Chain A
């Protein structure tokens, strides 16, 4: 994995043609760094899912480019995309979408087996991940016997089993009660911090803001400044102006992720951007 993470440049997606044309995503640019949690919010029909599908190589942009490290997804042939998705992306869905005929452990192992590792290796990898996620007592359970939160943890384990660079989640908390939703959010945050994965979440759920490094507002297919963003000049993290810590230097206002960054910056240890 190169340091560059995911890079989206001037991506547009149109559906239909002529008078029935819908522009679902309009000239969107975005970068997601390793370890970063990005939340994309916006009203219904604003193009969130469409954007996420393009990020996950499930949908081709009409215009623009999407690159993961040095892999340019938007230029790849259809036949190569399944393998890219298998090895570099992890998907988490609103409905969990586990395979009902397989046990919890086999659900996770199946995704690993698709890459060609042996069943034994796949199953032990699955067991290890599920244990980390606190599901060691549920390995042999059929998915239907799990609570919503447990199902979503299984889905998270499945998304992680092939060590993807990027986790993509569409409304991961929509079908969960608030405590399970919170637990899922905590896990996603942890995945980014401890494992250095990028996490892109699409959601209506404002609680997710708490764990996001960045919140982007999509409206009518375009990012708007409903949330004004700024970049911390010290650590480079994107911060919301409303909630960030502000500081003035040389007659200009800067925004910081934390007091430490501001103090460092104002003390002149770190230079201006």
Chain B
């Protein structure tokens, strides 16, 4: 099954990340069933789907933490389906896992400095100092053990840890999970910042309303298959697609109206 439309050859060329017909299993259970997706630098792409649809599995298959059994994962034209996770990271793909996945026994500063040395050959504008400039709150808790941070601070730290490796593409898994509404708002600002910096972002979210507000395009994953691919505007305006994700289209309009935006 191919979901690539319009001039596929040109799109694929532009894509720094290309997932082609990937199949991933956990034991006998066939979790990803021929998933294809592409992502270019500078675009924010939402990966939507209900609980258990396979979003996390897809991100893990891209970075090699879970091995795809068949298909292709290409980073900058190089096939990495069988590569080790550190190799994929060094090619510029940063995976930001969901939940409280910081190095808890290290301080905030050690978390960042450690990560800044993980891909020594990658050069770029991001340094530990720049992370502190961007997230002044992290600078305030520099010496604190990372396991004692709040959910929002941990999210900042995970993002900072990814940035100091100077990646081209960020894979964010469920960044809004467990965050207070105020912090979700901030997260939106950080995403806009990433977009402004020219990063490619693949945003796996159950919170479709949030994801579509900050993305250019989106994919809907359902039971391990891509059900739909389209622009964020297209997705936002389809009641059918949204209700399939458990979001009522009315809710989207209400939020948009509150923010003074046309849907």
* Real binding pair: no
List residues of A whose CB falls within 8 A of some B CB. Answer: none
